[in-house]
Structure 1
Amino acid sequence: MNSNMNIGIRSIVRLLVGLFWVSSFFACGSNDDGNGSDEPQLDAPQLVSSIPVNGDKDIPTGDLEVILTYDQNVTISSAGHSEVTISGATVENVSANLKKVTVCLSGLESGGNYMLKVPKGVVLGPTKVEAPQVTISFSTINTSEVKPVISELCVSNPLPQAQKLYDYLVSIYGKKTLSGSMANVNWNIAEAELVHKTTGKYPAIAFFDYIHLYASAPDSWIDYGNTTIVEDWWSQGGLVGAGWHWMVPAYDGAATDNMTYEPEKTTFRPKNAIVEGTWENRIIKADLEKIAGYLKLLQDKNIPVIWRPLHEAAGNIYEPWHGTAWFWWGYDGADVYKKLWIYMFDFFKEKGINNLIWVWTTQLNDADFYPGDAYVDIIGRDIYNQKAGPDNAVQYKTIDEVYSKRLVVLSECGSVATISSQWESGARWAYFMPWYQYNATTLAGHEHADDKWWTDAMTQDYVVTRDQLPSMK
Structure 2
Amino acid sequence: MAYTTDFEKLKKQLNFKPDPTRPVSKQASKNTKMLFEYLKSIYGKKHLAGQQYLQSEEVEDLVYYHLTGKLPAVRGYDFMGVSSCKKTDDQVDRAIKWATQCGGIVTMCWHWYAPNDMDDYSKGSSFYYKTTSYDHKTCFDLCKGVTEGTAEYEFIIREIDMVSAELKRMAQLDIPVLWRPLHEANGNWFWWGNHDEQHREAYKKLWYMIFDRMENYHKLTNLIWVWNGQDKCMEVSPDTFDICGDDIYSVKEYDHSSQKQRFEYMTELAHGKMITLSECGYIPDPDEMKKDNAMWLWWLPWWREFVYKREGYKPVFDKDGYTVINKKYMTEDFMKRVMAHPDVIMREDLPWYDKDKHKLPDALSANLERIKSK
Aligning the two structures, in what range does the TM-score lie when normalised by the shorter sequence?
Answer: 0.7 to 0.9
2:42 matched to 1:175? no
Q: Which has the greater radius of gyration?
A: 1
Structure 1 residues 401 and 368: CA distance shift in structure 2, 3 A:
closer
Structure 1 residues 329 and 355: CA distance shift in structure 2, 3 A:
same
What's the CA shift for 1:423?
Answer: 3.5
Matches of residues 15-94 of structure 1 in structure 2 within 5 Å?
A: none
1:33-55 per-residue CA deviation (whole Å, 9 max, x = no partner) reads xxxxxxxxxxxxxxxxxxxxxxx
Contact 1:198-1:451 at 8 Å conserved across structures: yes
Structure 1 residues 201 and 149: CA distance shift in structure 2, 3 A:
farther
- Structure number with higher helix proportion: 2
- Per the alignment, residue 227 of structure 2 pairs with 360
- Per the alignment, residue 151 of structure 1 pairs with 21
What's the CA shift for 1:204?
Answer: 0.5
2:66 maps to which of 168, 184, 197: 197
1:418-467 per-residue CA deviation (whole Å, 9 max, x = no partner) reads 34333433221111111112654525226545544432320210100101
Contact 1:384-1:413 at 8 Å conserved across structures: yes
CA-atom RMSD, angstroms?
2.7
Contact 2:117-2:123 at 8 Å conserved across structures: no
- Per the alignment, residue 466 of structure 1 pairs with 347
Contact 1:216-1:224 at 8 Å conserved across structures: no
1:310 maps to which of 182, 191, 194: 182
Mapped to 1, the partners of 2:46 and 2:149 lie a distance apart of 48
- Per the alignment, residue 291 of structure 1 pairs with 163
Mapped to 2, the partners of 1:449 and 1:440 lie a distance apart of 16
- Structure number with higher strand proportion: 1
Matches of residues 186-225 of structure 1 in structure 2 within 5 Å?
A: 189-214=58-83, 222-223=89-90
Structure 1 residues 375 and 256: CA distance shift in structure 2, 3 A:
farther
Mapped to 1, the partners of 2:116 and 2:340 lie a distance apart of 46
Q: In structure 1, give the amino acid aligned to 2:96.
A: V
1:163 maps to which of 29, 33, 43: 33
Matches of residues 81-160 of structure 1 in structure 2 within 5 Å?
A: 150-160=20-30
1:381 maps to which of 243, 246, 257: 246
Contact 1:193-1:202 at 8 Å conserved across structures: no
Structure 1 residues 230 and 446: CA distance shift in structure 2, 3 A:
farther
What's the CA shift for 1:242?
Answer: 0.6
Contact 1:216-1:223 at 8 Å conserved across structures: no
Structure 1 residues 159 and 447: CA distance shift in structure 2, 3 A:
farther
Tell me the SS of whatever aligns to 2:192.
helix
Contact 2:46-2:344 at 8 Å conserved across structures: yes
What's the CA shift for 1:287?
Answer: 1.0
What's the CA shift for 1:370?
Answer: 1.6
2:275 matched to 1:408? yes
Q: In structure 1, give the amino acid aligned to 2:82.
A: L
Contact 2:281-2:329 at 8 Å conserved across structures: yes
2:115 maps to which of 240, 249, 269: 249
Contact 1:184-1:190 at 8 Å conserved across structures: no
Number of aligned residue pairs: give it: 311
Structure 1 residues 346 and 229: CA distance shift in structure 2, 3 A:
closer
Mapped to 2, the partners of 1:269 and 1:300 lie a distance apart of 34
Mapped to 1, the partners of 2:68 and 2:240 lie a distance apart of 37
Mapped to 1, the partners of 2:45 and 2:149 lie a distance apart of 50
Tell me the SS of whatever aligns to 1:184.
coil
Structure 1 residues 256 and 292: CA distance shift in structure 2, 3 A:
farther
Q: In structure 2, give the amino acid aligned to 1:329.
A: W
Tell me the SS of whatever aligns to 1:242.
strand
- Per the alignment, residue 84 of structure 1 pairs with none
What's the CA shift for 1:212?
Answer: 2.3
- Per the alignment, residue 141 of structure 1 pairs with none
Structure 2: gaps spanning 5 or more residues: 1-17, 131-136, 306-313, 317-322, 355-374
- Per the alignment, residue 172 of structure 2 pairs with 300
Q: In structure 1, give the amino acid aligned to 2:35.
A: L
Structure 1 residues 279 and 221: CA distance shift in structure 2, 3 A:
closer
Contact 2:47-2:345 at 8 Å conserved across structures: yes
Q: In structure 2, give the amino acid aligned to 1:284.
A: I
- Per the alignment, residue 327 of structure 1 pairs with 190
Mapped to 2, the partners of 1:453 and 1:284 lie a distance apart of 43
What's the CA shift for 1:399?
Answer: 1.7
What's the CA shift for 1:371?
Answer: 1.3
- Per the alignment, residue 79 of structure 1 pairs with none
Structure 1 residues 281 and 450: CA distance shift in structure 2, 3 A:
farther
Contact 1:251-1:268 at 8 Å conserved across structures: yes
Structure 1 residues 206 and 424: CA distance shift in structure 2, 3 A:
same
TM-score, normalised to structure 2's length?
A: 0.76
Contact 1:165-1:472 at 8 Å conserved across structures: no
Percent of residue pairs bearing the same amino acid type:
29
Contact 2:83-2:112 at 8 Å conserved across structures: no
Structure 1 residues 278 and 190: CA distance shift in structure 2, 3 A:
farther
Contact 1:182-1:192 at 8 Å conserved across structures: no
